[in-house]
A and B are shown apart, each in its own frame.
Chain A
Amino acid sequence: MKNTLRDLRKAHGWTQEDLAIELDVSRQTVNALEAGRYDPSLPLAFAIARLFDLAIEEVFDDGGSPQLRAARIKD
């Protein structure tokens, strides 16, 4: 799953270690998340979104079609 974690972290001037401390995970996990090699659990995804004061969808992109999303919103 694509995400904007690296950009968000850099925008805050944090190192991977800083973010690991904030999220209570290992630096290796932060690295895997940023590289898209690991999809977080729902609680961790919420913790990440909350840390940056964003919605989960603003941090993570599951590749869902925009048309489908628009149709669901319309319904």
Chain B
Amino acid sequence: MARPQLSKPDAARRRFIVVHLALCMAFAVAMLGTVEALKRLEDPAARWLVTAVPIGVLMAWAWAFAGFVRTSDEMIQQLQLRAVAISGAAIILLMTAWGTLERLMPVPEFPLFLAGPAFAVVYGLVLPWLNARP
């Protein structure tokens, strides 16, 4: 049998990058498509169904990410889980603080659908920072 060119965790990471990019594009297309479709659709059931499409893509991404973490080696798992924990905690804290302000002060409402992208931005900063730490 031929020697593999990549270790199993490296191959899993490469696969995840492809799936991740595909699902990000699918999410963008689904969001745009849903917005357009909702302008024309009037049946409530159809509107719910169309709106569920981008949410389904989001769930598929979460499933793919969990699979990637599961197939990674011990260091990558530790790194990913720490990055997710720190980013998740940061977003929960920020959103709770902003929500408190919304209730008490005249501040603009934070669009909740941006919580995911906000998490992705924080995660994108935290992961290399954790990786570079001695």
Identify the A interface with B (CB < 8 A).
Answer: 17, 20-21, 23-29, 32-33, 36-38, 40-41, 44
User: How many of B's residues come within 8 Å of A, CB to CB?
Assistant: 17
Does B9 reach chain A (CB closer than 8 Å)? yes
- Which listed residue (B3, B10, B133) contacts A26, Cβ 8 A? B10
Expressed in whole angstroms, the Cα–Cα distance for A25 and B97 within the complex equals 40
B49 within 8 A of A: no
- CB–CB B13/A37 < 8 A: no
Question: Across the interface, do B6 and A25 meet the contact criterion of CB distance under 8 Å?
Answer: no
Can you list 7 pairs linking A and B with CB atoms under 8 Å apart? Answer: A21-B3, A25-B9, A25-B75, A26-B9, A26-B13, A27-B7, A32-B131
A37 to B9, CA, bound (A): 19
Contact A25 B133 (CB under 8 A): no
Instruction: Assess whether B10 is in contact with A20, with CB atoms less than 8 Å apart.
Output: yes
- Contact of A28 (CB < 8 Å), options: B76, B133, B134: B76
Residues of B89-126 whose CB lies within 8 A of A: none
Write out the residue numbers on chain A whose beta carbons fall within 8 Å of the beta carbon of B13: 26
Residues 24-74 of B at the A interface (beta carbon under 8 Å) = 72-74
Docked CA distance A41–B7 (Å): 19
Q: Is the CB of A26 within 8 A of B134?
A: no
Instruction: Pick the most buried of B4, B7, B10: most chain A CB atoms within 10 A of its CB.
Output: B7
Question: Residue B15 at the A interface, CB < 8 A?
Answer: no
Q: How far is the CA of A26 from the CA of B131 in the complex (A)?
A: 14
Known: A26-B13, A36-B134, A37-B133. A17 touches B75 (CB 8 A): no
Known: A37-B133, A37-B134, A40-B74. A21 touches B9 (CB 8 A): no
With contact pairs A36-B134, A37-B133 given, residues A29 and B6 touching in the complex (Cβ less than 8 Å): no
Q: Are A26 and B75 in contact (CB under 8 A)?
A: yes
In the complex where A36-B134, A37-B133, A37-B134 touch, is A21 in contact with B74 (Cβ < 8 A)?
no
